[in-house]
Homo-oligomer: A and B are copies of this chain.
C-alpha cells in the first residue's frame, strides 16, 4: 500500500496510458494492472492523503506552514491558556517531538511560551499578534484554495459525507 511523496516522473506517460493514448513511435510497455489494489482502503486512503498534503503545502507556500504547524496554531487559538502537554496530546504529538516544533513557531514569532503562575512547570501557549494574523491569512488560503477544491471535485454534499465518514473511521475504527 505504500506510496511515496514524490511527483512521479512517469506521470505524463501514466496519464497518456490512462486516456488510452498510444505513442506510435515508442513501443512503450503497457501500464500495469492495479487489480484489487484500487479497492484496498489503506492504499487509496494513503494516496489521497499524500495528494491532499501536497496540495496543502502548495497552497501555504507563501506562509510556509505545514499541515502540522497549521493544526497547532488552530488549536492554540481555539484553546487559549493550555500548556504544551495538552496541545500536543490532543493532536497526537508526543511531548518530546513537540519541543522542536514549538521552537520553530516561537522563533518565527507566531506563538509564545509563557510560564504559568499556577504551575511553574507548565508553559502556557498563546498566539502572538503576528501568529493571529498569519493564521487568519492561512485560514483564507485553506478555505479558498484547498478545501474549495474538494467542492469542485465532489460537490458540497459529497464533501460533507466524506469528512463525516473519515471522522467516523478516525474515531471508531
Contact = CB atoms under 8 A, between A and B. Distances in A.
A78 B30 CA distance: 13
A41 interface: yes
Q: Is the interface of A mostly helix, strand, loop or mixed?
A: helix
> How many copies, total?
2
Contacts of A167: 38, 44, 47-48
Interface stretch (A104-112, A126-134, A149-157): A149-157
Interface residues of A, number: 77
Contacts of A141: none
Contact of A32 (B18, B90, B94): B90
Contact of A51 (B40, B89, B170): B170
Nearest to A33: B78
Nearest to A51: B173
B154 A168 contact: yes
Contacts of A102: none
Contacts of A136: none
A89 to B, nearest CB: 6
Interface in A85-125: 86-87, 89-94, 97
Given A33-B78, A34-B90, A163 B44 contact: yes
A86 B17 CA distance: 14
Contact of A86 (B32, B37, B74): B32
- Nearest 9 Cβ contacts at the A-B interface: A2-B68, A1-B67, A47-B170, A3-B92, A35-B78, A48-B169, A1-B71, A44-B166, A4-B92
Interface of A: 1-4, 6, 8-10, 18, 29, 31-53, 55-56, 66-68, 70-72, 74-75, 77-79, 82, 86-87, 89-94, 97, 139, 142, 146-147, 149-150, 153-154, 158, 161-163, 165-173
